[in-house]
Structure 1
Amino acid sequence: MNIHFLYRKGSLYLLLALFLSSCEEPYSPEVLEASNNFLVVSGFINSNGPTTIKLSRTQNLSDNSAPAFVTDAEVKVEADNGAAFLLQETSDGTYTSGTLPINVNQQYRLTININGKRYASDYVAVKQTPAIDEVSWQLVDDKVLFQVTTHDAQNDTRYYRWEFEETWEYNAYFFSVIEFVDGELVTRPEENNIYLCWRNNNSSNINISNTIKLSQDVVSKFPLYSIPLNSEKFARKYSVLVKQYAQTKESYQYWESLKKNTESIGTLFDPLPTQLTGNIRNTTDPSEPVIGYIHVSSVSEKRIFLKQTELPYVYRAPSVSCTLDTVAVEEVPEYFSGGSNLPVGPIYTESGTLIGYSGAWRSCVDCRIFGTTTRPSYWQ
């Protein structure tokens, strides 16, 4: 199949000529590489909890390095009555504050000072986020689909956005009762358990919905995300914390454009990328593009747990390739000293004579490779 494009700078004319051919030729479009160091502002002003703002720089498509964070900036939340609250840099490019004394009758903006360059968002009103009614799940095509239901009895929200944080409990393939310390195998103390762990993951997709075409402000079972039924996340216990944000019409449109630009491109039938128009500007140089949109709202949260035993009988834990090795006493130093293998337990004869030890690859014994043994405070 050959594809022909007709493109005119300034306005777009697109001509598609699709026809069958006996051969296919790859098409590699030229990518514009130019000076690309624009400010990216991520976050929002939280009216009922800590505020976190992250500052970074844009990159070219061919740049595979990690994002460049903006450090040593002065970041403030300012009210239209003159009050100002300074955020502290807690890690590279991350600026936070405790719960701010936000007044719902005032408007707020974010200001940023970077080496004399001053940036400011528009003043925006405070949105109150309604409570989440329910976070539910159901089995759909061998996947577990998670959904959120909410409503605003005042019909005043209309625009919604969600994020989620997932946590799952899992265990190593083998339970280790001994450890290799200073060239010797000793009983592993309970506080050095490496069998049971927890792992976390944050949402990456943009989840938005609106009720502007409905007579009532109700979102029913909005599909947030799905996980394959045989995922390792369901091997023991799984939990998800859903966060809900009320949006203004303008902030919703920003997130909608961002979603189209990042998640809905790649095929002939996807929308063309659009210019992101945020509400943050360089007040000293208005011509400089700035990426980001600041809004002010409260946050509603709801957490649910899902045990493996609650899943249908068709659940099957993912297969793991782990082999238990037998190690003779005289082979212990050589086998365990490198750190790539860990001991599991002693091996005795029927008469009680120690004849060796069992061991395996670290990834089969130490759950900390993928997570942490620190039990979350919220874990049931």
Structure 2
Amino acid sequence: MKRIVLLLLLVFITFSCAEVIDLKNERTGGQLVIFGRITNGGDGNSVNITRTQEEGLAPLNVSGATVVVIDENGNREQYVESSPGVYDLGRNLVVGEVGGVYRLEVELDGKTYTSSLQEMMPAIANDELDYELDIAEEITPAGVQVSREVIRIIANSTFETLPEEFYLRWKMEEVYTVTGMLLPLQNFPRYSPLQCYVTNELSAQDIFLVDGTEVRNVQLSNREVAARQLDFSFDKKHYFNIIQFGLNKESHQYWERLQTITTRQGSIFDVAPAAVPGNFTSTDPEEEVFGFFEASSADTTRLLITQNDIPVFFLDPCQVNREDFIRILRVPFECVSCIIEEKIVEAECIYCNLIPNSSLRRPSYF
């Protein structure tokens, strides 16, 4: 095992001092929620628009909105809808820069929603990641104790300088490759396995925040930021990415409100019991709008794990036995879909782009 070094957020004790936010607990549905960001890099420049439903139901994605970011010089650029409810910025006319000031305008159903002005603050910590292998003991729903091999990600953050006031947030994610299974060339001569890249958020249970006004140490160390069960996803390149965002005070307060909810409910992606007030106003003074638009610098630190780092044999979940291999040989010539229809393998074994959070787009660092 590697020595635990490096981690970040010893400062989480500051959460106990956070202001208690009084949130509404009743929701009839129909409220618009806008969350968006502009950064100083190529990633993270997106806006998500949803509409709440009745309690217990997941929000609905909202398509057809006109989403425009405007900088302090009046330059405007429209976000382009890449999937239902998700709008991406091309950074052709408006490029986020530290010190820049930005606001967002959303036009939808004859109404205009405008965010407050947001200044982009710097991300000032230097992050490092390391890992350790461990055995985690768990109790199954049937009450049986089981042992699982896990990898724990440890982080450390250091500051060259400590400004009087600064605010930071971190997000953890993993990115790994999945390849479609091989099929007999003589039966499927035109079949080519897909190469997919899966990105999973690992910090949904936690919002890693630091209020710099309460930090006077130059190092935040030895904090576990993620724990992941070992499986076949580690057979190839497996990245753990920690992304640091520089926030302004208003953005930090918004994330504190979210942190209050996730402490009670478990995840920012769960159906929340209350909407979180943000920085949007509507041209309809009677309409309540939720969500936040932030201008945040972003800095990413990556940790690459390969099979050489993991002394564990991984069983391929798509591996077939001799009997199933013979069944594959007997399906009609080049009928890939027949393999799935006859339930010889799962569809994701051939079409890895069906795996949640997967993409055929190769990240630049792979």
Question: TM-score scaled by structure 1?
Answer: 0.67
Structure 2 match to 1:52: 46
Say yes or no: does 1:302 pair with 2:301.
yes
Q: Any unmatched runs of 5+ in structure 2?
A: 1-21, 137-149, 267-271
Structure 1 match to 2:237: 237
Say yes or no: does 1:261 pair with 2:261.
yes
Q: C-alpha distance in 2, partners of 1:71/1:341? A: 35
**Larger RCO, structures 1/2 (Cα 8 Å, 6+ apart):** 2
Structure 2 match to 1:148: 155
Q: Offset at 1:197?
A: 4.5
Aligned residues: 312
Q: C-alpha distance in 1, partners of 2:302/2:96? A: 26
Paired AA for residue 47 in structure 1? N
RMSD (Å), alpha carbons: 3.9
Q: C-alpha distance in 2, partners of 1:33/1:274? A: 7
Structure 2 match to 1:376: 362
Say yes or no: does 1:84 pair with 2:92.
no
Question: TM-score scaled by structure 2?
Answer: 0.70
1:39 paired residue among 21, 32, 39: 32
Q: C-alpha distance in 1, partners of 2:348/2:48? A: 37
Task: Give the match's secondary structure for 1:127.
Answer: coil
Q: Offset at 1:360?
A: 9.2
Would the alpha carbon gap of residues 212 and 231 (structure 1) be closer, same or farther in structure 2, given more than 3 Å must change? farther
Say yes or no: does 1:323 pair with 2:316.
no
Assess if the C-alpha contact under 8 Å between 1:77 and 1:110 holds in 2. yes
1:112 paired residue among 88, 103, 106: 106
Say yes or no: does 1:278 pair with 2:271.
no
Q: Offset at 1:200?
A: 0.3
The higher radius of gyration belongs to 1
Percent identity among equivalent residues? 21
- Map 1:119-268 → 2, pairs under 5 A: 119-130=113-124, 132-142=126-136, 143-156=150-163, 158-170=166-178, 175-180=182-187, 188=189, 192-194=191-193, 197-203=195-201, 205=204, 206-210=206-210, 211-216=212-217, 218-228=219-229, 230-265=230-265
Q: Any unmatched runs of 5+ in structure 1?
A: 1-11, 13-30, 182-187, 267-271, 343-358
Q: C-alpha distance in 2, partners of 1:49/1:306? A: 24
Paired AA for residue 107 in structure 2? N
Assess if the C-alpha contact under 8 Å between 1:112 and 1:120 holds in 2. yes
Which structure shows the higher helix fraction?
2
Q: Offset at 1:55?
A: 1.2
Task: Give the match's secondary structure for 1:178.
Answer: coil
Structure 2 match to 1:25: none
Q: Offset at 1:193?
A: 4.3
Q: Offset at 1:305?
A: 1.2
Paired AA for residue 168 in structure 1? Y
Paired AA for residue 130 in structure 1? I
Assess if the C-alpha contact under 8 Å between 2:30 and 2:52 holds in 1. yes
Assess if the C-alpha contact under 8 Å between 1:47 and 1:297 holds in 2. yes
